[in-house]
Chains A and B, each alone.
Chain A
Amino acid sequence: DTGVSQDPRHKITKRGQNVTFRCDPISEHNRLYWYRQTLGQGPEFLTYFQNEAQLEKSRLLSDRFSAERPKGSFSTLEIQRTEQGDSAMYLCASSLVRGINTEAFFGQGTRLTVV
């Protein structure tokens, strides 16, 4: 257990529905990241927060995706009008940024299946 919690662990939804995932990072960590991992591929960067500010978003993050970290603690990732191509593992990671010697700790992920 890395200390990063994700909820739910699994989600099955019908195409067109909205889904929301939650990530609770390690408590003192100021940076939080979202990644997406499809079968047979490495994780792909989606977005990251420094405290409550969303500093970078990948082009993979379409308009149907939105992420928040309202108080600089937990984060949510919402997907609106889900599509079958959204089926993937969504990973959250957190780190405490001090200089360059940092380590990102990953949660176990939320596996989304869109049917």
Chain B
Amino acid sequence: AQSVTQLDSHVSVSEGTPVLLRCNYSSSYSPSLFWYVQHPNKGLQLLLKYTSAATLVKGINGFEAEFKKSETSFHLTKPSAHMSDAAEYFCVVSRGNNNDMRFGAGTRLTVKP
């Protein structure tokens, strides 16, 4: 069985300040982990993915995530938030090859000017 828990349903930051979106996973397998972003009225877009290579993964738009097996975490970070980052973010775990991807409930990121 596999699942993810996104620890915050809503995060609010000021423009230019760091972003931290937290995700913990549970998996019976060596997991593949992903972060997707969903802007209003747009499809889900892949930000980054971890597939057992480097534990620090760099994604698009300045986002990064670090896989920590000991903590079963895969938190998403960005040094400086931009207004365009406001969206819903989903942490996802799968068994690899996108089999049966399990999404978290999502974290809504608000960026204040």
Contacts and interface: CB of A to CB of B under 8 A. Distances in A.
Nearest to A44: B103
B98 A95 contact: yes
A31 B42 contact: no
Interface in B14-69: 32, 36, 41-46, 49, 51-52
Interface in B58-106: 90, 96-106
Given A100-B52, A101-B51, A103-B49, A43 B44 contact: yes
> DSSP majority for the A interface?
loop
> DSSP majority for the B interface?
loop
A97 B98 contact: yes
Contact of A43 (B45, B99, B103): B103
B103 A104 contact: no
Contacts of A104: 46, 98, 101
B98 A33 contact: yes
Given A56-B100, A100-B51, A100-B96, A106 B105 contact: no
Contact of B106 (A41, A91, A108, A109): A41
A23 B32 CA distance: 25
Interface of B: 32, 36, 41-46, 49, 51-52, 90, 96-106
